[in-house]
Amino acid sequence: MRVVSLVPSLTEAVAVSAPGRLVGATDWCSHPAALDVTRVGGTKNPEVDRILTLAPDLVIANEEENREPDLAALRAAGVEVLVTEVRDVPGAFGELARVLAACGVTARPRWLDEAERAWSSPPLPERRTTAVVPIWRRPWMVLGRDTFAGDVLARLGVDHLYAGHEDRYPRIPLDDLRAAAPDIVVLPDEPYRFTPDDGPEAFPGLPCALVSGRHLTWYGPSLAEAPRVLSQALRGAAG
């Protein structure tokens, strides 16, 4: 079977669970580190013609990360496209099982069992905290309603303040984010790469947790270590 993945987290899941079946991935698919496949452009602008030259039996996509016109073009060319929808941790496990089955994986991978165990009893703080979670700046955008990353944080005892917003990724003026007075500001390194010198300075007086975007937003093998890695970062920022 020949598979092309347009979702970085699913690329990692397929690569480690079904070696040799992945023939194409996006430029943003950074894991596993030694992945050697044809690159087919970005998640938002994949090169459809290049994908077709790979003659895939299946293209894996996500309703949020990929654009419907690109997926429609692949379908019109006769390619089977599997589109995932992930809004919470249980949903991630269900979609991962569906993707792996579609890729012909018959034996349940060990990492998937380890991830489910890790999330069955994640580490919790002594008290719940509130947060704002920027995912972009210029303009400032944050996690809103019904997001996978928001569910991840909630399961670790962190309630983000825009979970009830009508938009999933609302644009909020910086002054409003500061005025919301969260207990903590969570700054991931993707999709915007927040760093110690780019992000925390916008929130003077507020503790900021710089976290791994792979552990906060990816659903794949990283789920097994995400509770521990994220909890450590959150505790370290909160003091």
**What string of pLDDT tens digits covers the 239 residues of the chain?**
999 999 999 999 999 999 999 999 999 999 999 899 999 999 999 999 999 999 999 999 999 999 999 999 999 999 999 999 999 999 999 999 999 999 999 899 999 999 999 999 999 888 999 999 999 999 999 999 999 999 999 999 999 999 999 999 999 999 999 999 999 999 999 999 999 999 999 999 999 999 999 999 999 999 999 999 999 999 877 66
Assigned token pair, 211? 């976290």
CA distance 75 to 68: 10
The pTM (predicted TM-score) of the whole model is 0.93
Instruction: Compute the radius of gyration of the chain from its Cα atoms.
Output: 18
Asked whether the CA dihedral 16, 230, 166, 199 is positive or negative, the reply is: negative
CA distance 80 to 100: 15
Alpha helices in the chain (DSSP H): 8-17, 48-53, 68-76, 89-102, 110-120, 148-155, 174-179, 213-217, 226-238
